[in-house]
C-alpha cells in the first residue's frame, strides 16, 4: 500500500471517529471528510498524524477548527485518541430534527475512541440556542450521553478569591424554559404579593 493511500485511510478513520462523537445530521457520515492545514505529517511507523496551522476539519454539517490536530492509531489503523488545540478550538454541528446548531469551544479538545470520552479543557463552553454549559472542563461520555463539568483544574473545588468574578472557578449552566407547542413563550410567573401585617 502506498503512503498516499495509507494517509487517506488514516484521515478517514480519524475524522469519522472524532466527529461522530456528537449526534449530528444522520447524513453527515455519508459525506466526504476534508482536512486543511498549513502543514501535515503522517508517520506510518509510529501510527501518528499531525496537522498544524489553521486546521479545518469538515464533514457534512460538522466543522472543527483549531491550531493543531494530533491523532494516534493502533496497528490496524483504528483511532485510539485525537487531540485538537486552539486559542480556542471550535466545533459546530447541526443535529437531526430541525434543532438548533450545537457549538463548542475550548483551548484543548481530547477524544478517546475506545472509552467513548470527549473532553473540552480550559475555557470550555457548549451552547445550543439559549442553552449553555461552561466551565474549566467539560467531559462527555458519548456512549451514555452523560455530561459533567468542573469549574477548576484540580481535583478539589476551590473557593474564588475575594474580588474575583462570581463565575470564576464555577460551572455555569443556563437552561431556558421550555417553549410550549405552538412556539409561544411561557407566561411569566407573577411575583408573590407582599405580606400584609
Task: Pick the closest to residue 36 from 50, 47, 51, 48 (CA basis).
Answer: 51
> How far lies 183's CA from each of 2, 30, 95, 178, 180, in Å?
56, 33, 19, 10, 6
- Asked if residue 185 lies in contact with residue 179, where contact means CB atoms within 8 angstroms, the answer is yes
CA 37 to chain centre: 19
Query: Which range has the worst mean pLDDT, 95-104, 131-140, 154-163?
Result: 154-163
Q: Tell me the per-residue pLDDT of 1-60, one tens digit each, with 9 for 90 and over.
A: 554 444 444 444 444 444 444 444 566 656 766 778 999 998 989 999 999 999 987 777
Per the confidence metrics, is the pTM higher than 0.75?
no
CATH 2.60.450.10 describes domain 3-174: yes
Q: Which grid cell sits at 28? A: 453527515
The per-residue pLDDT of the chain, averaged, comes to: 75
Amino acid at each position: 500500500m502506498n503512503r498516499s493511500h495509507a494517509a487517506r485511510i488514516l484521515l478517514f478513520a480519524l475524522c469519522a471517529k472524532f466527529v461522530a462523537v456528537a449526534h449530528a445530521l444522520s447524513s453527515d457520515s455519508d459525506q466526504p471528510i476534508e482536512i486543511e492545514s498549513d502543514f501535515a505529517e503522517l508517520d506510518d511507523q509510529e501510527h501518528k498524524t499531525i496537522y498544524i496551522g489553521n486546521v479545518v476539519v469538515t464533514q457534512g454539517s460538522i466543522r472543527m477548527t483549531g491550531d493543531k490536530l494530533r491523532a494516534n492509531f493502533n496497528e490496524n489503523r483504528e483511532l485510539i485518541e485525537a487531540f485538537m488545540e486552539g486559542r480556542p478550538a471550535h466545533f459546530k454541528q447541526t443535529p437531526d430534527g430541525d434543532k438548533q446548531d450545537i457549538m463548542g469551544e475550548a483551548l484543548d479538545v481530547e477524544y478517546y475512541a475506545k472509552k467513548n470520552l470527549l473532553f473540552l479543557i480550559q475555557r470550555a463552553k457548549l451552547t445550543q440556542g439559549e442553552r449553555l454549559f461552561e466551565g474549566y472542563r467539560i467531559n462527555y461520555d458519548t456512549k451514555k450521553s452523560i455530561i459533567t463539568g468542573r469549574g477548576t483544574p484540580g481535583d478539589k473545588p476551590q473557593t474564588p478569591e475575594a474580588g474575583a468574578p462570581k463565575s470564576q472557578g464555577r460551572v455555569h449552566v443556563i437552561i431556558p424554559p421550555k417553549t410550549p407547542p405552538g412556539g409561544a413563550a411561557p407566561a411569566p410567573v407573577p411575583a408573590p404579593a407582599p405580606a400584609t401585617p
